[in-house]
């Protein structure tokens, strides 16, 4: 029989920035490019271990054979409904086994999922759909789906899981897949899926991840997490985010035939019960959630002894929290510093615990190039803070169809400017000290917000802290510390401005870094994946009377 020909997906290349040929040659020579499609991870696992559990949610469980068959039927259904291979499709779905079937079905059909997050609304989805040229919506929010296809008529096909107003994602006989055009015979150097950028300003950007780079991301992440077929991975963050999707997440689990369990409720009472029921061994959380889980171990009666690895990333995990989580759960923390754009750093399972607590890990690949530069673009010495620039086999060379952004976000020789402020430790691990732009300019002094936050978190009454600059006639910006008081202490125990300043001064913080204003909130605004959203916080504080604040005596600035 003649070899099936690949589906025509070349239009995907328009606006996609590939690796340069020399770099690709090097990556290929190093063995990181395996020329197979992303969906092949599932087919391979289904061949090896058809009867092993593949995905579960509270309502159903599928073995590898069942998941592969379901994905093939779904792929045939999508193509039968008129979608053509290579077309981008918005995937907008809560954590569930159905999310996995749709995702893998789209990939098997050669369609290109745009991995939106459940918290995205029509404004973000319309922007993503227009930029990608999406032709369909697959998800579980009927009202948003309707609004999207009204706003972007090119999104002509809408499939909604469990809704009455739209057809459900379709299934068809998979025999139609093995015709002379194989939709899944893809170019591994073209986009397999689109991730969305996680910034808090402006609309999300599209991050095209290729079959080759995402397969490598999954494989190498699984290796570092020492994942095996015996592991049970819990998707507790939104499954479309790079962290639970591929670090190692769902795709990493597919590389070794592990079991992936989905929940869309990461609260400790629910998640702990799932960990116990399924014997979950690995999961990934943002620091704010990890902190809540850690506190909950004191009152939630659950046996969490199966959990061997708690990956924490997405935002800075404060040192005391890393120590506390290890103490509560038994040395399970792995710090993960990653970005949808590519570079992922992990602390290793063999690292001394002190290094796990104080660093955000080392790059996962020997082929990752990391530069740490000063504001003039010169490399700084080890131990000195600077901006992290990176280039490597699984890091994009440009956002998709975003030339203007690319001119700013990438250097001429293809390094991604992360905007993250880091320093390199003698071990080679990186310590993240903040965002380059998260700096308050107070009376001419540059103050890094996270420097103050780290000290505030050491206060026994403080559960969460965010420091922002607010406009001030005399100072330019004044330092405002927003605190969430620990549930273990009474709200009345919230420290006053004077107490906060005294506490920080005692810890050796320079006078010009002491907050001018302190206020408390019951919670802090968060992004779609659960990171503290400072832009939203600043907006909320803007014009706010900041009840209960005492203006600080302005300390003299030397």
Which SS3 state, helix, strand or coil, does residue 557 take?
coil
- Choice between 62 and 310, CB closer to ligand OOB: 310
How far does Cα 514 stand from its chain's mean position?
32
Does 338 engage in binding with ligand OOB (CB under 6 A)? Answer: yes
Does 339 engage in binding with ligand OOB (CB under 6 A)? Answer: yes
Cα–Cα distance, 450 to 299 (Å, whole number): 30
- Choice between 148 and 195, CB closer to ligand OOB: 195
- Choice between 105 and 338, CB closer to ligand OOB: 338
Q: Is the separation of the CB atoms in 381 and 389 below 8 Å?
A: no
Q: Minimum distance between the CB of residue 115 and ligand OOB, rounded to whole angstroms?
A: 11
- Choice between 421 and 478, CB closer to ligand OOB: 421
Does 235 engage in binding with ligand OOB (CB under 6 A)? Answer: no
Mark the segment that binds ligand OOB (CB under 6 A) among 87-95, 322-330, 337-345, 504-512: 337-345
Binds ligand OOB by CB under 6 A, chosen from 132, 186, 329, 340? 340
Of residues 434 through 453, those in contact with ligand OOB by CB under 6 A are: 435
- Torsions phi, psi for 293 (to 5 deg): -60, -40
Cα–Cα distance, 526 to 534 (Å, whole number): 8
- Torsions phi, psi for 264 (to 5 deg): -105, 15
Q: Minimum distance between the CB of residue 429 and ligand OOB, rounded to whole angstroms?
A: 11
Helices (H) and strands (E) in the chain, counts: 17, 26
- Torsions phi, psi for 515 (to 5 deg): -60, 145
Does 198 engage in binding with ligand OOB (CB under 6 A)? Answer: yes
- Choice between 342 and 469, CB closer to ligand OOB: 342
Mark the segment that binds ligand OOB (CB under 6 A) among 99-107, 159-167, 309-317, 325-333: 309-317
Q: Minimum distance between the CB of residue 420 and ligand OOB, rounded to whole angstroms?
A: 5
> Residues 506-535 vs ligand OOB: string with x where CB under 6 A?
-----------------------x------
Q: Minimum distance between the CB of residue 198 and ligand OOB, rounded to whole angstroms?
A: 3
Q: Minimum distance between the CB of residue 342 and ligand OOB, rounded to whole angstroms?
A: 9
Largest separation between any pair of C-alpha atoms in the chain: 83
Does 365 engage in binding with ligand OOB (CB under 6 A)? Answer: no
Mark the segment that binds ligand OOB (CB under 6 A) among 312-320, 440-448, 516-524, 548-556: 312-320
**How many CA atoms does the CB half-sphere of 204 hold within 13 Å?**
30
- Choice between 425 and 443, CB closer to ligand OOB: 425
**DSSP letter string over 326-371?**
HHHHTS-EEEEEEETTEEEEE--TTS-HHHHHH---EES-TT-EEE
Binds ligand OOB by CB under 6 A, chosen from 117, 344, 362, 462? 344
Binds ligand OOB by CB under 6 A, chosen from 19, 316, 421, 513? 316
Does 318 engage in binding with ligand OOB (CB under 6 A)? Answer: no
CA proximity to 138, closest of 96, 192, 183, 99: 99
In whole angstroms, how large is the CA radius of gyration of the chain? 24
According to DSSP, the residues that pair with 345 across neighbouring strands are 337, 363
Does 314 engage in binding with ligand OOB (CB under 6 A)? Answer: yes
Q: Minimum distance between the CB of residue 241 and ligand OOB, rounded to whole angstroms?
A: 6
How many residues belong to the site for ligand OOB (CB under 6 A)? 21
Does 247 engage in binding with ligand OOB (CB under 6 A)? Answer: yes
Cα–Cα distance, 329 to 309 (Å, whole number): 10
Does 336 engage in binding with ligand OOB (CB under 6 A)? Answer: yes
The token pair that represents 282 in the structure block: 């690995």
- Choice between 85 and 198, CB closer to ligand OOB: 198
Of residues 416 through 435, those in contact with ligand OOB by CB under 6 A are: 418, 420, 432, 435
CA distances from 413 to 19, 306, 397, 417 (A): 11, 46, 9, 11
Does 387 engage in binding with ligand OOB (CB under 6 A)? Answer: no
Please, what sign has the CA dihedral across residues 180, 181, 183, 188? positive
The token pair that represents 540 in the structure block: 């909320």
Does 96 engage in binding with ligand OOB (CB under 6 A)? Answer: no
Element (H, E) at 245: helix 242-246
CA proximity to 244, closest of 550, 440, 529, 23: 529
Mark the segment that binds ligand OOB (CB under 6 A) among 47-55, 291-299, 334-342, 467-475: 334-342
Element (H, E) at 26: helix 21-29
Mark the segment that binds ligand OOB (CB under 6 A) among 61-69, 99-107, 115-123, 307-315: 307-315
Element (H, E) at 56: strand 53-56
Q: Minimum distance between the CB of residue 23 and ligand OOB, rounded to whole angstroms?
A: 22
Which SS3 state, helix, strand or coil, does residue 217 take?
helix
Q: Minimum distance between the CB of residue 440 and ligand OOB, rounded to whole angstroms?
A: 17
Q: Is the separation of the CB atoms in 335 and 362 below 8 Å?
A: no
Percentage helix, strand, coil for the chain under 3-state DSSP, each rounded to 5? 30, 25, 45
Binding site for ligand OOB (CB under 6 A): 198, 242-243, 247, 313-316, 335-340, 344, 360, 418, 420, 432, 435, 529
């Amino acid at each position: 029989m003649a070899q099936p020909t690949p589906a025509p997906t070349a239009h995907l290349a328009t606006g996609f920035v590939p690796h340069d040929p020399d770099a690709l040659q090097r990556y290929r020579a190093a063995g990181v490019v395996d020329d197979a499609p992303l969906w092949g991870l599932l087919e391979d696992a289904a061949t090896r271990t058809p009867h092993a559990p593949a995905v579960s949610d509270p309502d159903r469980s599928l073995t590898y054979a069942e998941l592969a068959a379901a994905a093939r039927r779904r792929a045939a259904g999508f193509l039968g409904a008129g979608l053509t291979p290579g077309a981008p499709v918005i995937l907008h779905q809560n954590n569930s086994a159905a999310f996995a079937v749709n995702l893998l079905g789209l990939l098997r059909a050669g369609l290109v999922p745009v991995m939106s997050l459940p918290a995205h609304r029509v404004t973000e989805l319309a922007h993503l759909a227009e930029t990608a040229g999406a032709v369909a919506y697959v998800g579980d929010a009927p009202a948003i789906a309707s609004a999207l296809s009204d706003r972007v008529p090119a999104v002509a096909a809408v499939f909604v899981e469990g809704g009455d107003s739209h057809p459900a994602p379709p299934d068809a006989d998979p025999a139609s897949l093995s015709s002379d055009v194989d939709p899944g015979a893809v170019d591994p150097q073209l986009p397999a899926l689109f991730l969305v950028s996680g910034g808090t300003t402006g609309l999300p950007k599209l991050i095209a991840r290729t079959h080759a780079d995402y397969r490598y991301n999954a494989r190498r992440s699984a290796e570092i997490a020492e994942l095996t077929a015996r592991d049970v991975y819990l998707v507790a963050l939104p499954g479309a985010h790079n962290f639970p999707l591929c670090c190692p997440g769902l795709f990493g689990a597919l590389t070794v035939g592990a079991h992936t369990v989905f929940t869309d409720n990461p609260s400790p009472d629910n998640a702990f019960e799932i960990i116990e029921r399924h014997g979950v061994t690995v999961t990934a959380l943002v620091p704010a959630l990890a902190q809540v889980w850690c506190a909950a171990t004191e009152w939630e009666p659950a046996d969490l002894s199966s959990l061997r690895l708690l990956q924490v990333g997405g935002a800075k995990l404060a040192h005391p929290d890393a120590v506390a989580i290890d103490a509560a759960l038994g040395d399970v923390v792995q710090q993960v510093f990653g970005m949808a754009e590519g570079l992922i750093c992990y602390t290793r399972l063999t690292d001394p615990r002190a290094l796990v607590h104080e660093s955000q890990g080392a790059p996962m690949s020997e082929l990752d190039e990391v530069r740490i530069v000063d504001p003039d673009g010169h490399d700084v010495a080890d131990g000195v803070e600077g901006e992290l620039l990176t280039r490597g086999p699984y890091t994009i060379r440009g956002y998709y169809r975003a030339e203007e952004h690319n001119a700013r976000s990438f250097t001429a020789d293809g390094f991604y400017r992360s905007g993250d402020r880091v320093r390199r430790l003698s071990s080679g691990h990186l310590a993240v000290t903040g965002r380059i732009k998260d700096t308050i300019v107070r009376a001419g002094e540059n103050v890094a917000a996270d420097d103050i936050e780290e000290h505030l978190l050491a206060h026994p009454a403080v559960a969460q802290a965010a420091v922002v600059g607010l406009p001030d006639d005399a100072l330019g910006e004044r330092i405002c510390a927003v605190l969430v008081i620990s549930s273990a202490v009474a709200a009345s125990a919230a420290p006053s401005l004077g107490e906060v300043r005294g506490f920080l001064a005692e810890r050796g913080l320079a006078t010009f870094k002491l907050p001018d204003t302190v206020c408390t909130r019951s919670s802090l605004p968060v992004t779609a994946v659960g990171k503290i959203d400072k832009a939203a916080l600043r907006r909320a504080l803007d014009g706010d009377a900041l009840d209960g604040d005492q203006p600080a005596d302005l300390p003299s600035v030397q």
